Amino acid sequence: MSIVVQDSTSLQPVEEIIQGEVSKAREAYKPISRRMIALALAEKRKMQFKEAMDLVDEYCDEHEPAIPGYISSEFGIYYLKVVAVANVGIGIFLCYLGVQAFKNPRAPGLPSYAWFVLGTLFVGFAALCWVKSVERALGGPKDAA
């Protein structure tokens, strides 16, 4: 079955575009997802993403069932942001404990500066996670090769 979208700009079958994207990814040994193919199809054909995704799903179900809907790097973007927000919350709580330890220096436990150091480390790790998530969303660091 050939999937063809008729419009005035181009009569190239959608199936050829999808096959081209799949073959480019295989030649480059690069993982590809249905979402990535749909984004390329929507860009090349100037169509809505939802329509492109439906066409890619139809093609992949028939010809390329091993291509996943999403790949792990696409999930990693959101996961890192959740980790960053959680670490900021933990860091703020640890700084609060440092303030409480500073107010009552004779209480047993860690000294106040230790709580501040731990809180700062958690907030710093949160900043690193956030930067890495933005870096992944923008395409990742470019290799020199």
CA-CA distance, 49 to 34, in Å (whole number)? 11
Tokens describing residue 92: 């703020």
**Higher per-residue pLDDT: 65 or 21:** 21
Phi, then psi, of 47 in degrees rounded to 5? -120, 170
Across the range 34-44, mean pLDDT stands at 87
133 and 81 in contact (C-beta within 8 Å)?
A: yes
Q: Packing angle between helix 49-63 and helix 14-27, nearest 10 degrees? A: 70
Specify the pLDDT at position 123: 97
Answer whether residue 68 shows pLDDT above 90.
no
User: Mean pLDDT lowest for which of 57-66, 100-109, 116-125?
Assistant: 57-66
Specify the pLDDT at position 76: 57
User: Mean pLDDT lowest for which of 35-39, 75-79, 83-87, 96-100?
Assistant: 75-79
Specify the pLDDT at position 6: 47
Specify the pLDDT at position 12: 58
pLDDT tier at 114, thresholds 50, 70, 90: very high
